Structure 1
């Protein structure tokens, strides 16, 4: 990243809850409260006074209802932190949390700020896809007639079916990938790989640390029994797509100089970030172009990267990405992904930094990439380098 060097001091997340209005962890908890929990955890873990933070930036996919009116600032105030810190909420759809980190890093690289927090949040149990549809019906379709005339827009699920057709991905391949996600996530949980990123949440006197969506008892037979969700002859199901979820995550960033001055760890540095546009119909292909552009700008090959976090919005996404980039599965989502852990839309991008950072440290890796597909035909990719 051009300008001043930006380091990652810490990254945390809540346990991811099911986005279910009755069975989800956070059914009785406000979205702002989830995000506030991560801000407080970062400050407590680092010992940093809250008035030393220059700005907080949060990504959020559905900015209405309890997630409206600048949830970044609202969560900061809810946590009882310094009134002098502003706060900004942005929308890059599914990549909003990742963009929250990228914008926070850019503020430091440019010299505008010295210390920032990039974050993301989504409470899909409260603001469901149905609520989004009802809002559009009452207040207007976000896609104008002119835009729809220009592009034959489809849902992300339908785009997943187009991905499967384009890359010749079979239902069996998708289900195998989904099963692997659950098994990897279960192994990572049992082995304590998430222990340094998950900040416990107390729910009805129970301390919760485990992601709610992991299904250790799933199998190929159970996955095969699920009906296609978007096309009766298709291959994308609820089992090989990401889960509707609730959660929040936050990343503490600083210039190298300010990290040293305030005794903050310099665990990794932000090397570069890109966001690209792709076909808004075949919208899930964004990570392919974003990763290629990122590697090209840095003069690196796909084989130079030790670990990848490719968001599992649908199994078609990482499978097509691996096929195009020629990357082996043992370097991709080694602790599972959104199919098992869940995908709180605005949260996931920030969550992936926490997972990648800890995985690079665990595996003694150097370079890692976070990449995501986003609604509307967007792809995001960020390269980080672990520091000794």
Structure 2
């Protein structure tokens, strides 16, 4: 058997992030009238054009597969969205395409699937992406919309017996209470995330890899190229922002700790990453952002579900031959602040460690479910290169108690 290939990250891009707003409503966000298929295609094309500019010898016919993460695979996000988008992007038809659903983990799962294929020699180039227009399809749409069909879904009455009917927000409250996390700690983490995201945007750290998206709606043309979910007040008036956060109430529990201020934003967005074997990148004269050192998935308790990244990170670090102390970037997905505090406790770092989500997280910038893993993977890769860091780890928690993690290191 031949030796495993080294896999590198050639480039990573994303769309600007839009506020969630129901499709057709005048007060919706900047992407609420967009097409998920076209948005994803635009981001893919933007990524490939960047690579062509760096490597004229790059041939898209060598792309083995296009793997896309998406949670709500219905409507325009259904029907193997990856194939729709890849063809719309002008990717040669010879490239295969598939769409992955592992809840919040979907985008990073696409990256890990591609990594494993490249390692064993199943191709030399893979395009990974993710998209979610939460304005169009909220969480659970793929289940509940189907239940309204002519032939209703026979949803098992035993869902409660296996812990598959407890909302994530309720699980976040359970974790917070069980681990003695205070409302102030959660809010501090949430405010910190927003401050870092605003700072990253002002430093131009986002702009250098945002792909503009142009579309027409009802005869009017729009171009989306700047995030609209950031709250500058967190930086300009931190005391006022803090007072605003203290006024928020938990939607999950009377007197609870989990609020909109310490939870991820519901948003629209897409992201894409191009992976290659190190040999292929070298032949093309490309300088990678980083290489993938290890990846892993793990199951955990369905309730409280959000702690499954802990065993996944342990496995990924072991496979990479590294420890948490080796990481210069630690990227826990900020679906909620409470599990992020739990991860810090489990691995022995402070939750306000500057290595944690240095360019912000889902509380600050949003959590476009299927795109999140790819988006934050890209932010980690760019930040590692920008700061000349040694290594980073990304982790996400998915519904049903599934964790995922990926370790990258400098090249």
TM-score normalized with structure 2 length: 0.89
- Note closer, same or farther for the CA distance 1:142–1:380 as it changes in structure 2 (3 Å cut): farther
User: Is 2:376 the counterpart of 1:352?
Assistant: yes
Q: CA RMSD in A?
A: 1.8
Q: What is aligned with 1:280?
A: 302
Inter-CA distance 236–119: structure 2 relative to 1 (3 Å threshold): same
Given that residues 14 and 270 in structure 2 are in contact (C-alpha distance below 8 angstroms), is that contact kept between their aligned partners in structure 1? yes
Q: Which runs of 5+ in 2 are unaligned?
A: 53-57, 235-240
Aligned to 2:261: 239
Give, in angstroms, the shift of residue 287 of structure 1.
1.8
Instruction: Report the Cα offset of residue 290 of structure 1.
Output: 1.5
Structure 1 residues 247-266: aligned runs within 5 Å: 247-266=269-288
1:279–1:51: structure 2 CA closer, same or farther, 3 Å change rule?
A: same
Within the alignment, does 1:327 sit opposite 2:349 as a pair?
Answer: yes
Deviation of 1:136 (Å): 5.1
Deviations 1:237-294 (A, max 9, x none): 1221111111111110111121122333322111111000000011011222221222
- SS of alignment partner, residue 144 of structure 1: coil
Contact map agreement 2:289 2:382 (CA 8 A) in 1? no
255-264 or 332-341: bigger deviation: 255-264
Alpha-carbon shift at residue 362 of structure 1 (Å): 1.6
Q: Distance in 2 between matches of 1:266 and 1:299?
A: 21
Q: Tell me which residue corresponds to 1:172.
A: 184
Aligned to 2:47: 42
Q: 2:326 touches 2:390 (CA, 8 Å); kept in 1?
A: no
- For residues 96-137 of structure 1, give each alpha carbon's deviation from its aligned partner in whole angstroms, at most 9, with x where no partner exists: 000111111112111111101111111100112374563254
Q: Is the 8 A contact 1:10 1:265 kept in 2?
A: no
How big is the shift at 1:138? 2.4
Q: Compute the TM-score of the two structures, normalised by the length of structure 1.
A: 0.95
1:204-260 residue CA offsets vs partner (Å, 9 max, x unmatched):
656433222111225111111111111112111122111111111111011112112
Aligned in 2, Cα 1:263/1:296: closer, same or farther, shift over 3 Å?
closer
Residue 232 of structure 2 corresponds to residue 220 of structure 1: no
Shift of residue 92 of structure 1?
A: 1.1
Q: Distance in 2 between matches of 1:4 and 1:241?
A: 39
What is the alpha-carbon distance in structure 2 between the residues aligned to residue 130 and residue 224 of structure 1? 29
Whole-Å separation in 2 of the counterparts to 1:364 and 1:210: 26
Distance 1:149 1:70, change over 3 A: same
Which of 337, 347, 372 is the aligned partner of 2:396?
A: 372
Change (3 A) 1:253 1:150: closer
Q: How does 1:19-168 map to 2 (within 5 A)?
A: 19-21=20-22, 22=25, 23-47=28-52, 48-129=58-139, 131-132=141-142, 134-135=144-145, 137-138=147-148, 144-151=156-163, 153-168=165-180
How many pairs align? 386
2:375 maps to 1:338:
no
Query: 1:20-70: CA deviations, max 9, x gaps?
Result: 124211111111111111210111111133212111000111111111011
User: Which secondary structure does the structure 1 equivalent of 2:187 belong to?
Assistant: helix
Q: Which runs of 5+ in 1 are unaligned?
A: none
SS of the equivalent of 1:146 reads: coil
C-alpha displacement of 1:152 = 6.9
Aligned residue for 1:159, secondary structure, equals helix
Cα shift at 1:176:
1.1
Task: Give the whole-Å Cα distance in 2 for the aligned partners of 1:141 and 1:383.
Answer: 39
Cα 1:119–1:152 change in 2 (3 A) is closer
Deviation, structure 1 residue 299 = 3.6
332-341 or 49-58: bigger deviation: 49-58
What is the alpha-carbon distance in structure 2 between the residues aligned to residue 233 and residue 197 of structure 1?
A: 41
